[in-house]
């Protein structure tokens, strides 16, 4: 199986969108394990064990991908993730027209 297919399948097992934070990944993993763990699951025990195994394997695939991902710290990449407030102040600073009218 190609790497992208493996990661995408793992993402779907963990019920993640195409973009997720580590906190979302961990949260989904914990919630799914809680739901499907054979000791807590009310479904067929065999199905519960299979789902638990799939969830754990999916988490390992995603976790491995995230641990080995090379993050970009370039200025342009960092700017892609600034908040709306940071964007505003970067462009207009504290001397915006709105602020001048408030004085």
| Annotated domain spans of the chain | 1-69, 71-103
Please say if the pLDDT value at position 99 is more than 60: no
Mean pLDDT of all residues belonging to the chain: 88
Please say if the pLDDT value at position 101 is more than 60: no
Give CA–CA dist 10/55, Å, rounded: 8
Specify the pLDDT at position 102. 53
Encoding tokens for residue 42?
Answer: 């009310």
Q: Dihedral through CA 11, CA 82, CA 78, CA 5, nearest 10?
A: 10
Dump pLDDT digits (tens) for 26-74.
999 999 999 999 899 888 999 999 999 999 999 999 999 999 888 788 8
Q: Please give the class, per CATH, of domain 1-69.
A: mainly alpha
């Amino acid at each position: 199986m190609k790497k992208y297919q493996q990661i995408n399948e793992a993402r779907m097992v963990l019920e993640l969108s195409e973009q997720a934070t580590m906190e979302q990944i961990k949260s989904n993993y914990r919630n799914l394990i809680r739901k499907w763990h054979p000791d807590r699951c009310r479904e067929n025990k065999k199905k519960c064990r299979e789902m638990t195994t799939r969830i754990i394997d999916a988490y390992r695939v995603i976790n491995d991908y995230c641990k080995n991902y090379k993050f970009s710290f370039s200025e342009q990449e960092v700017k892609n993730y600034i908040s709306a407030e940071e964007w505003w102040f970067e462009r207009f600073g504290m001397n915006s027209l709105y602020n001048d009218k408030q004085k």
